Structures are given as C-alpha cells and as structure tokens.
Amino acid sequence: MQQVKEQAIDSLLAMDYDHTIRSIARQFKETVVRFRRRGAIVAVSGGVDSAVCCALAAHALGNRRVLALLLPEKESSPSSERLALEVVKTLGVPYERHDITGALESLGCYERRDAAIRDVIPGYGLGWRNKLSIAGGLSGQFNHFYLIAAGPNGERVERRLGFKEYLQIVAATNFKQRTRKNVEYYHADRLNYVVVGTPNKLEYDQGFFVKNGDGAADIKPIAHLYKTQVYGLARHMCLPQGIIDSIPTSDTYSLPQEQESFYFALSYQDLDVALLYLENGRTAAELAAAIRVDEVTAGRVYADILAKRRSTRYLHESPVVLQDA
C-alpha cells in the first residue's frame, strides 16, 4: 500500500530531470557571471538538499569552481559527515573541513541553550541530549513546542516549553546555522565566489530556516523544487545511495531529529502533495483522498501550511529602508 502511494506521489510530481538540470545550470552560471563572481561555495551537510545543490553547482560551473565545506560541530551526527564526504568525493569537488565547535563554545551556544533547558528540566546536564518538537496543527490546536531530553541512563523527559525558554533555546541553537554561514562567506569573500543556499520548496515556503543563517545565500537553486523532486534529482544524478536513502533530519539538536517531528508534522511526501494541491486550488476533500487522511485532517493540513507561512513571513523580508514621510 505504501509503495502504491509513493508511486502516486512520484507521478504527481514527475518532471523532466534532464531539462530541469539544464535549466538550473544555465541560470546558475548566468547568476554567478551577473554577480561577477568566479565560483560557488556549498556547505554539504550529508543531507539530500545540499548534495543535490553541490552536484548542480559542479554541473553548472565545473567541479573546480566549487568549494564544498564540511562544517560539523560536536553534536552533529558522525554519519552525516561520512555522507557529506562521500558526496564531495563522488562529485570530485575540492572541499575543506572546519569544525565549528570551538566557535560555538566561545559564543556560548551550548551553555546558553543548556541553561534554558535546565529551567525546564533541572536535572539536565552532562551526558544528556535534547531536541524540540512541534505539535498542535494537525489536531486543530495552535502550534506549540516541546522539549524532549534523554539522559545518560536511558531516562526520557518531555516538557512543553514556555515562552522564554523556547525563545532562548532557539536563539542559542541558531548560532549553529549563523556560524556556518559566517564560515561560508569567509571562503566566498576569499575566493570571490557566491554562497549557495540549499532549501527545497517545502523549507523555503514554510520558513524552515534561520534568518541570516542557512536562509542567507546569493543563489538558491532548488527552492522551487518539492522534496520528492529533489530526491528524484539525487537519483537521476547518481548521487551516493546513502543520500538517496537518507531521512530528512535537522542535524541541529543532539538527539536524532527527523524534520517530520520537528517542524512539518507530516511526511515530506504527503506535505509535497498538500502544498501542490493548495497551490492548485484543490479542495480538502481532494487532498484527503490523495494522502489518505480524513477530510477534517486535510483541512487542518491546509490551515497549518497557511499558519506557518504567516508566522515565518518575517524571515523572508529584506531590511526595510525607511523614507521621509
């Protein structure tokens, strides 16, 4: 049954991959030339989006005009770095590795985050790991946030986050994305390159990025592509099987965190269809039939997409230049 559903989704989002690659490559090169830069920086995380962006950059500019960056920190999954390395070696692009743990420690990233966590879970300390999750949207509630922590002896604690603690945990954690972007722009300035942003359409549309962190870039080659299509491109471009089989994760929190439980509340396949249907004016009943949920749930999926768009609109805004009035 699941396989039939996945095939149906694939056919809904089918595209001519060769045409798409040619189109992106042409626009990519035109943009780099227009910006009078000489190449592209891509931070490769070990996920499918950055892998496809790196492959597209290499295809557009030639692999010697791309510098891939591996930017782990002490809480990154080791398997992510292994996959990232496999990607850059498969593509034959030059790369540098820069562990950002020291920078994050200097900024107080871990210390500030853990202080906020201890306000919620006083016993949190050495050997504990954490992640956030979102809940509410699909059950007709307002979205709200939970902290999930796992202790060294297997204990697991889940607490709803209050306003101050939630903001401080997110603010401290955002040091990670912003520090990575600092390193990316260092190399971009050094080499006169552009910085590539790697969000797919779901992340871009739903605001799943950090402003001036992973949201900052000179070019975003796949922000118009559904996640299903990005996986299709990865297969078409013969990227490593580990990338094609990977489950989307944030790799930002120390506990394993699938994007589905962190932010999106649905699998990326179902959310792709929901976004596609919403943009094409399809009813909740039609969406319900397509992703096999009841109509009330489908309506809540639409409402949740719109709510997240509203909540994150600010992230897309450029600085407002005030005028004399």
Partner 1 sequence: MKNVRDQVRNYISVNFLMGLQDAAITDHASFLDLGIIDSTGVIELIAFLEETYGIRVEDAEIVPDNLDSLEAIDKYVARKTFSCASSMTA
Least separation, in Å, of the C-beta of 142 and partner 1? Answer: 4
Residue 29 or 144 with smaller CB distance to partner 1: 144
- Measured in whole angstroms, the distance separating CA 97 from the mean position of its chain's CA atoms is 20
The CA-atom distances, in angstroms, between 8 and each of 48, 170, 289 are: 21, 37, 12
Q: Please check whether residue 252 is in contact with residue 177, taking contact to mean a CB–CB distance below 8 angstroms.
A: yes
Residue 18 or 317 with smaller CB distance to partner 1: 317
Residues 6 or more apart whose Cβ sits within 8 Å of residue 101:
72, 73, 74
Least separation, in Å, of the C-beta of 291 and partner 1? Answer: 23
**Sheet of strand 40-43: strand arrangement:** 95-97, 66-70, 40-43, 194-195
DSSP state of 159: E
Residue 19 or 163 with smaller CB distance to partner 1: 163
Residue 128 or 263 with smaller CB distance to partner 1: 263
Residue 8 or 170 with smaller CB distance to partner 1: 170
Q: Please check whether residue 17 is in contact with residue 165, taking contact to mean a CB–CB distance below 8 angstroms.
A: no
Residue 159 or 282 with smaller CB distance to partner 1: 159
Instruction: Using alpha carbons, select from 132, 125, 131, 133 the residue that is nearest to residue 153.
Output: 125
Least separation, in Å, of the C-beta of 266 and partner 1? Answer: 16
Least separation, in Å, of the C-beta of 173 and partner 1? Answer: 15
Residue 163 CB-density burial (10 A; 0-12 exposed, 13-18 middle, 19+ buried): exposed
Residue 169 or 219 with smaller CB distance to partner 1: 169
Instruction: Using alpha carbons, select from 255, 223, 262 the residue that is nearest to residue 137.
Output: 262
Residue 109 CB-density burial (10 A; 0-12 exposed, 13-18 middle, 19+ buried): buried
Least separation, in Å, of the C-beta of 88 and partner 1? Answer: 37
Query: Interface residues with partner 1 (CB under 8 A)?
Result: 134-136, 140-145, 160-164, 166-167, 307, 310-311
Instruction: Give the integer Cα–Cα distance in Å for 8 and 28.
Output: 31
Residue 90 or 143 with smaller CB distance to partner 1: 143
Least separation, in Å, of the C-beta of 283 and partner 1? Answer: 21
Give the CB-side neighbour count of residue 106, counting CA atoms within 13 A. 5
Least separation, in Å, of the C-beta of 160 and partner 1? Answer: 6
Instruction: Give the integer Cα–Cα distance in Å for 32 and 9.
Output: 34
Residue 171 or 289 with smaller CB distance to partner 1: 171
Residue 25: count of CB within 10 angstroms of its CB: 17
Residue 259 CB-density burial (10 A; 0-12 exposed, 13-18 middle, 19+ buried): buried
